[in-house]
């Protein structure tokens, strides 16, 4: 008797997952799979979301959870998954006649979801590539990862140094190759 209670409490229900923490990306994906599996109506349409979910899980598989949560794509991915979950639940509870009336809208929604997920996957892949590049830079310079400046910061620093070099000379007179007019143009261009 005790074992049954323990077993039942460990089994996943429709609202929680055994493998993912509540509110995480993988918990949302798990909830979508539950909604697809328990769909009473419009099963053929709802099953079209399975390959989309497989794409997302394939890209995120093996990734560091901390990296995913701190990445710039996290909020968009989470929002998209919530929208897919709501759409799947809504589509699976509609009756037969309502599904026929909503067929064009469903097709349009599915195409939009598919395109948005493809764009998100592209962003995720680029984010992974950028992280690998930063890790390689950190290894080469033997510094911890947070101390390596972002690529944008490096570009700004180089531009600041290039602007400062013509203005800095050993004496009080302007540099030989730089006129006052060109210095004023540089300053006006910054405004």
For the segment 73-98, what is each residue's pLDDT rounded down to a tens digit?
999 999 999 999 999 999 888 888 88
Residue 23 scores a pLDDT above 80: no
What percent of the chain is helix, strand and coil (3-state, nearest 5)? 75, 0, 25
User: Going by C-beta distance under 8 Å and a sequence separation of 6 or more, which residues neighbour residue 181?
Assistant: none
Gap between the Cα atoms of 6 and 151, Å rounded? 52
Gap between the Cα atoms of 55 and 52, Å rounded? 5
Confidence of residue 191 (pLDDT cuts 50, 70, 90): very low
Mean pLDDT of the chain: 74
pLDDT at 172: 47
CA dihedral over 59, 65, 71, 76, signed as positive or negative: positive
C-alpha closest to that of 34 among 12, 7, 6, 56: 12
Confidence of residue 185 (pLDDT cuts 50, 70, 90): very low
Among left, alpha and beta (phi > 0; psi -120 to 50; other), residue 42 is: left
Residue 12 scores a pLDDT above 70: no
Residue 171 scores a pLDDT above 60: no
Give pTM, 2 decimals: 0.62
Gap between the Cα atoms of 188 and 109, Å rounded? 49
User: Going by C-beta distance under 8 Å and a sequence separation of 6 or more, which residues neighbour residue 47?
Assistant: 36
When pLDDT is averaged across residues 7-25 and rounded to a whole number, the result is 54
């Amino acid at each position: 008797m005790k074992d049954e209670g323990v077993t039942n409490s460990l089994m996943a229900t429709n609202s929680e997952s055994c493998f993912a923490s509540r509110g995480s990306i993988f918990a949302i994906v798990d909830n979508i799979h539950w909604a697809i599996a328990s769909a009473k109506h419009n099963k053929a349409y709802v099953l079209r979301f399975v390959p989309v979910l497989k794409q997302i899980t394939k890209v995120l598989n093996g990734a560091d959870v901390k990296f995913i949560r701190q990445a710039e794509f996290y909020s968009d991915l989470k929002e998209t998954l919530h929208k897919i979950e709501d759409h799947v639940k809504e589509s699976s509870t509609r009756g037969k006649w309502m599904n026929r009336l909503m067929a064009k809208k469903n097709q349009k929604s599915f195409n939009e979801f598919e395109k948005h997920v493809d764009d998100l996957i592209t962003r995720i892949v680029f984010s992974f590539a950028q992280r690998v590049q930063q890790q390689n830079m950190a290894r080469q310079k033997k510094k911890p990862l947070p101390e390596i400046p972002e690529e944008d910061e490096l570009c700004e620093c180089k531009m600041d140094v290039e602007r400062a070099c013509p203005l800095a000379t050993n004496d009080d007179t302007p540099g030989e190759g730089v006129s006052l007019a060109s210095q004023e143009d540089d300053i006006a261009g910054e405004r």
